[in-house]
Amino acid sequence: MTALKNDRFLRALLKQPVDMTPVWMMRQAGRYLPEYRASRAKAGDFMSLCMNPEFACEVTLQPLDRYPLDAAILFSDILTIPDAMGQGLYFETGEGPRFRKVIDTVADIEALPTINPEHDLGYVMEAVRTIRRELNGRVPLIGFSGSPWTLATYMVEGGSSKDFRKAKAMLYDTPQAMHMLLDKLAQAVTAYLNGQIRAGAQAVQIFDTWGGALSDAAYREFSLFYMERIVHGLIKEQDGQRIPVILFTKNGGQWLEAMAETGAHALGLDWTCDIRGARARVGDKVSLQGNMDPSVLYANPQAIRAEVARILERYGHGSGHVFNLGHGITPEVDPAHAGAFIEAVHELSAQYHD
């Protein structure tokens, strides 16, 4: 594999010295970019974009051609695993992802197949290989998956949910059924991420989008437990390089200490968390990623720069910080504002690295 020309993202995740704070954005390949919208129109629809490795590569690289980002993230969707398990993923205009089959019973869970990444999700593995080849060492490539709990909510609800009524009813009524589902999903996520690592992903992130909807006890039992299992099952080194793992639980700031004990290298923070307090709580155990409110990007470039400066000052000196948004960039953001954000991180962060 080609040597990396810019490895500050990987170095920061491993708490090694860097010249400036690295930055990337969740959903950096997305609808805020006109070139993304053009590619999606050419592909026909979102799933056609995801399932074509050439298109997936094209949109993964688009933000890197605009901005001096420090990492690329695979263009895909967190719901590829349930789709590969036969749930029938489709997208309803204005309603988001839906499944043709819904998990209602233990029999439904028992019928879920074991996933072979190369066979059942080969289009993702081929996309990873294609992106790595086209990146040619510019920056590292991040692979990702949804967490078992997050995937389970979609599979039980049949799509997005505001209150997770069906998923939480299963969790409390028949916890053994939910554990059976989460166990299958943890095995699938582990295999999926290891497949991405073998194909060329140089770091991986687990998106626990809906972990923050759980109570303290339920989060630890039904979300964190399975993410820790995944972390322990992941390939630790590939091609002589360590593969850092990032855990991101949205609205999960109260569990940072527990998350830091999982073996992950870094924790993603949403914008509700104070990064100075988070750094004090986790100490040297993990790096931190985040955590600007994505809505700041609606403001003018001077306001964006001021917020970047504030977060950098709150984190303080030294490595172990990857600058990011506290969640994904939103479709209505002006691409010029995203550029101002990235420029501000690089320009203002050098003073914090000796």
Is 31 one of the catalytic residues?
A: yes
Cα separation of 324 and 342, whole Å?
A: 9
Give a yes or no: residue 260 inside a domain: yes
**Domain housing 180:** 28-289
pLDDT digits (tens, 9 = 90+) for 267-288: 999 999 999 999 999 999 999 9
Cα separation of 126 and 151, whole Å?
A: 23
Cα separation of 57 and 59, whole Å?
A: 6
Domain with 150 in it: what CATH number? 3.20.20.210
Cα separation of 165 and 185, whole Å?
A: 20
Give a yes or no: residue 154 inside a domain: yes
- The pLDDT, as a whole number, for residue 71 is 98
What's the chain look like in SS3? CCCCCCCHHHHHHCCCCCCCCCECCCCCCCCCCHHHHHHHHHHCCHHHHHHCHHHHHHHHHHHHHHCCCCCEECCCCCCHHHHHHHHCEEEECCCEEEECCCCCCHHHHHCCCCCCHHHHCHHHHHHHHHHHHHHCCCCCEEEEEECHHHHHHHHHHCECCCCCHHHHHHHHHCHHHHHHHHHHHHHHHHHHHHHHHHHCCCEEEEEECCHHHCCHHHHHHHHHHHHHHHHHHCCCEECCEECCEEEEECCCHHHHHHHHCCCCCEEECCCCCCHHHHHHHHCCCCEEECCECHHHHHCCHHHHHHHHHHHHHHHCCCCCEEECECCCCCCCCCHHHHHHHHHHHHHHHHHHCC
Catalytic residue, candidates 32, 36, 154, 315: 154
Number of domains in the chain: 1
Is 77 one of the catalytic residues?
A: yes
Give a yes or no: residue 349 inside a domain: no
Catalytic residue, candidates 77, 120, 208, 270: 77
Residue 95 confidence (pLDDT) above 80: no
pLDDT digits (tens, 9 = 90+) for 132-182: 999 999 999 999 999 999 999 999 999 888 999 999 999 999 999 999 999
Decide if 157 contacts 167 (C-beta within 8 A). yes
Is 298 one of the catalytic residues?
A: no
Is 279 one of the catalytic residues?
A: no
Q: What percent of the chain has pLDDT over 90?
A: 94
Catalytic residue, candidates 31, 129, 198, 220: 31
Q: Binding site: residue ranges?
A: 27-31, 77, 154, 209, 327
Give a yes or no: residue 15 inside a domain: no
Give a yes or no: residue 353 inside a domain: no
- Mean pLDDT for 92-117 is 91
Decide if 206 contacts 214 (C-beta within 8 A). no
Is 27 one of the catalytic residues?
A: yes
Give a yes or no: residue 345 inside a domain: no
Give a yes or no: residue 277 inside a domain: yes
Catalytic residue, candidates 8, 11, 27, 305: 27
Give a yes or no: residue 124 inside a domain: yes
pLDDT digits (tens, 9 = 90+) for 218-273: 999 999 999 999 999 999 999 999 999 999 999 999 999 999 999 999 999 999 99
Residue 96 confidence (pLDDT) above 90: no
- The pLDDT, as a whole number, for residue 85 is 97
Q: Binding site for substrate: residue ranges?
A: 27-31, 77, 154, 209, 327
pLDDT digits (tens, 9 = 90+) for 317-353: 999 999 999 999 999 999 999 999 999 999 999 999 9
Residue 1 confidence (pLDDT) above 70: no
